[in-house]
Structures are given as structure tokens and as C-alpha cells.
Amino acid sequence: MTGARRAALVTGASRGIGREIAGRLAEEGFDLTLSARGADALREAAAECAKRGGTRVRTVPADMAADDDVQRVVEAHRMAYGRLDLLVLSAGVGSAGPLGNYPSHRFDKQFAVNVRGPFLLIDACMELLRDTAPARIVAISSITGLAPEPGLAAYGASKAALTALCAAVNTEVSAAGVTATAICPGYVDTDMSVWNHDRVPPTEMITSGDIAELVVTMTRLSPQAVVPYLPVVRAGAALWQA
């Protein structure tokens, strides 16, 4: 390992949950590689991180559905820091719609970004994670992957697969010091949830800060503590509703 400071790679870092996680990690003193599709928004996120923590920040615009982009992000991080203490999988897409003529291209897109991309990224990062161990992977999954809801069959299935992927990582490499956690929240107050404001007001949603705090907490656990998945539900009587 070439760096003395802890280093993290965060996907989906230009907005919402991923951006808040990046900011909190900057406050914790992590060197960062931030990735998302939009270069301008990434630069803004990097500038915010620098203000919050004075940390080193590298940005790599990339599409997690593109194999070459995934490899490029990993190599850029390796060249910059030489270690990987934390891999945060926050890039994701969602599309609501009832069963019955659901567009197959929307299904394919969700599995490409929410499952295939994370699998390829974990696989490409595994050597670096093992060399840095103890190291952690945290994936932003969804409560719909544990308790499906009408209209979210494709999205929930993709997040269930992501949660299962984290469990599989633990069975394979947790003894070597690399552990994975899928954080599974209900609706979080980000732009991805705007479509549902008429049913769930933003004031009733989980905050991005809540999720970021949980990610930071994961980094403080010993490698003997494995948390395969962590449900986070909204306040109210319907405990398992998104």
C-alpha cells in the first residue's frame, strides 16, 4: 500500500446519497475517488468535499453500465492512492411500473446499473481490497429488495440481487478481512424520490445524512463484525413499507 491515509471510492457521488456520503468521508479524512456520469456535477461534489475535509479528491466520470468505464475507475483509484479501505456502491437507477407489458429495456437498465456494475466493480477491486484489508464494501440497496411493493417489481428484484451479492462477498472473503454491507432504506429525500412526493412528503422521508452516518459507522467496526444487510425504515405504523 502506497498511501498512509485511508482511501475510498464512491460511485453515484455527484448527487443525493452518494454525494452526502462523499462529504462525510471527507470529514473523516478519507482520500477519495468520486465517480458518476456527469463531469460538471462531479467537480462540484469534489469541491464540496475539499471544503468539508481538506482531503485529496480525484474525479472519474463513468457509466457503471459500461465495462470499460468500470475498469477505468478502478485503475484511476489504484494509481492515485494504491489502497482501497472503503468501496461505496451508490450509483443506481429506478423505474416504477406495474407488471403487465413492463418495458424490458427498463428492466435491463436497472439490472445493468444496480447489479452487473457493482459485481464488476467489486470483482475489479478485490485484489486492492484484499491487499488493504481490513476493508469494507457498502452498497446502497433498498427496503424493496427485502419487502417488495406493487409497481416496483423490477427495481426491488435488482436491489434484492445487490443485497445477495453483499452476502456472497462475506461468505467468500470476510475471513480475509473484506466485508460487505447492503444498506436497505425506505424512501430517502433525494431527487430520485420526487416522483412520490404526493404519497410520501419529503419531511417523512429518511435523510441522506442518515445513510451517510451509517456508512461512516461501518468504517468504525472491527473486521470481526460483519453486517450483511441493514434495513432502515421510515417512522410510522407500516414498518416495512418503503
| Nearest residue to 216 via CA among 19, 81, 25 | 25
For residue 184, the SS3 value is: strand
CATH value of 7-232 in 3.40.50.720, 2.30.22.10, 1.10.10.10, 3.40.50.300? 3.40.50.720
Instruction: Please compute Rg for the chain using Cα positions.
Output: 17
2 pLDDT higher than 60: no
Q: How many CB atoms lie within 10 A of CB 105?
A: 8
**What stretch of H or E contains 79?**
helix 67-81
The pTM assigned to this predicted structure is 0.95
- Mark residue 34 as left, alpha or beta (left: phi above 0; alpha: psi -120 to 50; beta: remaining): beta
Contact 25, 73 (CB under 8 A): no
Cα separation, 48 vs 61, whole angstroms: 17
21-62 per-position pLDDT tens digit = 999 999 999 999 999 999 999 999 999 999 998 789 999 999
Q: What is the pLDDT of residue 240?
A: 85
Q: pLDDT (tens digit, 9 = 90+) per residue, 89-109?
A: 999 999 899 999 999 999 999
Catalytic residues: 155
* Domain parsing of the chain, residue ranges: 7-232
